[in-house]
Structure 1
């Protein structure tokens, strides 16, 4: 197995003794049972490795045991307990293996694998700071567990540990338990073990009691996350531990866990926590390593940033890493839209396009999107390699070249690609057809990056365009720059107050890859309806034959329209990389998602809100119809379905409980409506009659459980959404 490296902050003169001999064969089998992507014993030892270097970790195993040695690695020290006399005896057999310069010993159990490193470090730290003779971990729990109880005196000092079998009625009501991790100087610890052994007793808790009886300085460190105390002494407890491990995977990263994790739209994290320049540099080093291994490093990379806080500094930092790895960089000046970088990768023949952005996330977030040479998003196996290698890199393994030297050497070249991007759009969108249409539109870029590019295109079309919220504001007006109904009140209000002044309202999100539309009356037009209009327009007016691809959360009316045209429709997982892959597979003319992203055949392999806005303007000019008129016409073909969606904060417990409840109690009906199928491809999609459906899906970019429904009537849609909410909160 791959050896784990010790943490940089190991306890220099400390030694850990991990008890893994087990009381019998059954307990030893549990130690090697799978838990998460590891085993019980591996998980316990992995935590200890974060505090102690391998040569100062002693694992006590049963006589003749080879399985644990193979699992845990040969860089640790192993001693055998030849007969199972007790936990104190197990610690005693490790005596000869403890390095002579050890000044503190931590004793931990391999069958308590959920202890966090902060808890173990906390008890060791308090022991040393307070000059204690003996220290132990405790926890206050609200359920009966088979642990000894902690008795304290009036001053709050620990005075006794009462074993479960010795509890009387009053003691059984005590909620503070002895977790079973201890710290002491080796000479004191082994002296007490010897003294107790002389009485024929070998339990470690009795040794702890000897320290208490001697009136030594005793320190306790309390655990507040009671999930940590879950021991593994039965299959049932193993199942409970597995739930806890799974739940922890979804806990938002905090100051001690700032790993880089890719979601459906790149890597995103809170600035100053997960998103740091240090993490960014490690990620860019991993991408540079991948390019070098694949032999595409000579192609160079394109790097740009949006208007978020730290985006410009991040773009420069990224450029320094690639230049430091002898990979040339085309650095886009100022702020740029994400679709421009998507376009730039194939346009310049670069190995990768890198954009610093967190898309529509709230202002305190930032992140990175990576595009391949053809402008497509990497699939999961590739982003997994990026994040895994980045997380394994140390700071001193990142190679950089100062930006001034890089520019002087020609390794970093500043170059704007706004004009080539606009020219490429205007080769596909019929600019001439729009001229003379006398259209007047209002645009809300939501303080994002679309004003220059979209403004230029609209000007070339001779469209009278008015922009709002165009200033550079990293706070985005105090809310997430997502072009949905709740955040476009200013745009809607201006159209309503204009009383026929405007033909169309358009919005783009923070990095301009999503679109929002408001019709001439001020009604917000869902992306589901917009996709229907554009599919009809492309197929029937522009004569571009082909099918349509949508994600699992997008309207089934697209399927109905495709059947009407005699074309294929395809449903894919959430994530635009899946949409573009599906488009290529069936030769689709349009691909989109209900959250505001779309592209067409022949354009970039990613969503583009700027291009989408230009195409909508073309559609209005060429057809001579308003959005409201086009919708009525399309509904005559497809009929109506009504969509609703909602989201609730997703706790780690929900991530475990909701899928389990769905699996344990297969649905046959949602209220009075019969279930005709269940799809677990991406979340859980409940299929009902007549293209009605309901979807539960945990977001890949935010800690949110999303709920989507589509039904024959608004009332039925609300009924389905209420049912989903009730199911989730039950």
Structure 2
């Protein structure tokens, strides 16, 4: 924990905007450096212009690769293009638009010339595709909750959610080829021409007006739930006020500041500015505002592209994302009569096993997937999965009639669900979770990092169950060893070891020389510590073998 975690950033913590934007134009990536090549992670290509990892060359090449990919896939409908409030998002938006228009793509940009949350783009794609044979897709310019120095770009195909590995691998490979060829094959028109050619779409109205199809906002209004919303300087800044006005909610936007330096933000646990609404340190302002007051029943926070949710309650503080996922599932599957009995629940392998117990208690089917929201897309799209959620505070769920709402994470939706829970039950989501622990037990959950070389990380990602020789973990017999996900059979890129009352999962980091150990125990903090200690030994033995 950094010594100033949770305290407002100082001038020396802030980025130099001029240097950051100048580097976007001036720096040419060194393709001999792996960190400077185009690489799509679980949420697109991310990096900083200052590191040669997110520069104009990258974006021009990615945009050209996307144009070629969609043509090869015969995607001939409009492409919805949105951006968040990061400093690098504006120049990247301009570069992307210049290339897409030059390639003859019908691009739709925000009619209000504003910022666009990720869920609003997913919602727009799916709404269009329900009514049209010419299928739409989308591009989002965002690095999500990453620090202000970073930029990001991700592609959403006609399924509306994050692109699968096959698509992103093809786009990345072609983009790197284009950069290595000096961008000579990239088509481009001046921005003024591209901006004038692009069509306009009112993302805000389309999303906000349709919310009652997914949520019971009448019960929120009638119960008089008092809400504070903090967009954390992100793309939701205009959306919360519009939601309050359109649906008559007692909702106050307590911070309307948009500052690409994020000078108002408290530092995260590592001392960096990071708009992570699941972090108590980053959410310190909102948590402090809620302590010892009676003005608001709930407070919400979102990250920069509003695909994550942060829920603060007076009786529980900032809810752990795992806790809110469990409470949301318990509530939804008892209050959505339009969802069929066969509709299942999606979770990642590193999310809390409290979800497993809640789902079993509901008599529902559990769909456990690898990390990455893209794994929930098929189930949400066809309505076979009612809820998909990640431990990192990203989730979405179906409309009230059991049809798809978004296939990307929706932080606005999950925040408003907390208000619906409060309005209908008269108690907070944190109180609902406490009731669940009375029934199912109270798990202790933590994540830690362990050092690993690049070779060790590659070995970890390729392990099989046979590589684990241990038969017990922290005093309990091992009942399962997983390297593929039960929900879809996909590789998890690591290892999960399960006992009756505990588990751990180990996955290599994509950006650092460490592997991540997620662990949980229903036998208390001391048992969790034993699980964590033995997890390292189990992984080290498997890697050595």
TM norm. shorter chain > 0.5? yes
> Distance between the aligned counterparts of 2:64 and 2:317, measured in 1?
47
Q: In the aligned structure 1, how far is the partner of 2:210 from the partner of 2:203? A: 11
Equivalent positions of 1:522-561 (< 5 A) are 522-543=316-337, 544=339, 545=341, 546-561=343-358
Structure 2 residue 366 is the aligned partner of structure 1 residue 569: yes
Is 1:512–2:306 an aligned residue pair? yes
Aligned position for 2:142 = 357
Match in the other structure for 2:194: 406
Secondary structure at the counterpart of residue 435 of structure 1:
helix
User: Retained in 2: the 8 A contact 1:548–1:583?
Assistant: no
Select 1:343's aligned residue among 117, 120, 123. Answer: 123
| Alpha-carbon separation, structure 1, partners of 2:538 and 2:436 | 34
Asked if the contact 1:572/1:582 (under 8 Å) is kept, the reply is no
Change (3 A) 1:455 1:495: same
CA contact (8 A) 1:670 1:723 kept: yes
d(CA) in 1 for partners of 2:429, 2:396: 19
TM-score by length of 2: 0.80
Aligned counterparts, 1:576-587, within 5 A = 576-583=373-380, 587=384
Q: Is the radius of gyration larger for structure 1 or structure 2?
A: 1
1:134-533 equivalences in 2 (<5 Å): 258-272=36-50, 273-297=52-76, 299-332=77-110, 333-349=113-129, 351-393=136-178, 394=181, 395-408=183-196, 411-476=197-262, 477=265, 479-483=273-277, 484-498=279-293, 500-533=294-327
Separation in structure 2 between the aligned mates of residue 413 and residue 360 of structure 1, nearest angstrom: 28
Instruction: Tell me, yes or no, if the aligned pair for 1:438 and 1:463 is still in contact at 8 Å.
Output: yes
> Are the aligned partners of 1:644 and 1:718 in contact in 2 as well (CA < 8 Å)?
no
Query: What is aligned with 2:423?
Result: 621
Alpha-carbon distance in 1 for matches of 2:437, 2:316: 20
CA distances 1:30-85 after superposition (whole Å, capped 9, x unpaired): xxxxxxxxxxxxxxxxxxxxxxxxxxxxxxxxxxxxxxxxxxxxxxxxxxxxxxxx
What do the CA deviations read for 1:330-373 (whole angstroms, capped 9, x no partner)? 12222211111112223345532011010112222111111112
Task: Give deviations 1:117-146, integer Å, cap 9, x for gaps.
Answer: xxxxxxxxxxxxxxxxxxxxxxxxxxxxxx
| CA separation of 1:491 and 1:320: change in aligned 2, threshold 3 A | same
SS in 1 for 2:448: strand
**Contact 1:561-1:637 within 8 A present in 2 as well:** no
TM-score by length of 1: 0.61
Structure 2 residue 532 is matched with structure 1 residue 721 = yes
| Gaps in structure 2 of 5+ consecutive residues | 1-29, 130-134, 266-271, 399-403, 485-491
Aligned length: 475
- Superposed CA offset, 1:189-239 (max 9, x none): xxxxxxxxxxxxxxxxxxxxxxxxxxxxxxxxxxxxxxxxxxxxxxxxxxx
The superposition leaves residues 360-391 of structure 1 with CA deviations (integer Å, 9 ceiling, x where unpaired) of 12222111111112312221111111111111
Q: How far, CA to CA, are the matches of 1:609 and 1:649 in structure 2?
A: 32
Counterpart secondary structure, 1:512:
coil
Alignment check: 8 A CA contact 2:461 2:508 kept: no
In structure 1, what is the Cα distance between the partners aligned to 2:150 and 2:456?
24
Q: Provide the aligned C-alpha RMSD in A.
A: 2.7
2:434 matches 1:646: no
The CA deviation string for residues 392-437 of structure 1, in whole angstroms up to 9 with x for no partner, is: 11311100122222344xx312443211111122332122221132
User: Of 383, 387, 390, which residue of structure 2 is paired with 1:593?
Assistant: 390
8 A Cα contact 2:316 2:430, kept in partner? no
Question: Relative to structure 1, is the Cα distance of residues 584 and 319 closer, same or farther in structure 2, using a 3 angstrom cutoff?
Answer: closer
Preserved contact between residue 685 and residue 693 of structure 1 (Cα < 8 Å): no
* Gap runs ≥5 in structure 1: 1-251
SS in 1 for 2:260: coil
Tell me if the contact between 1:446 and 1:481 (Cα under 8 Å) persists in the aligned partners.
Answer: yes
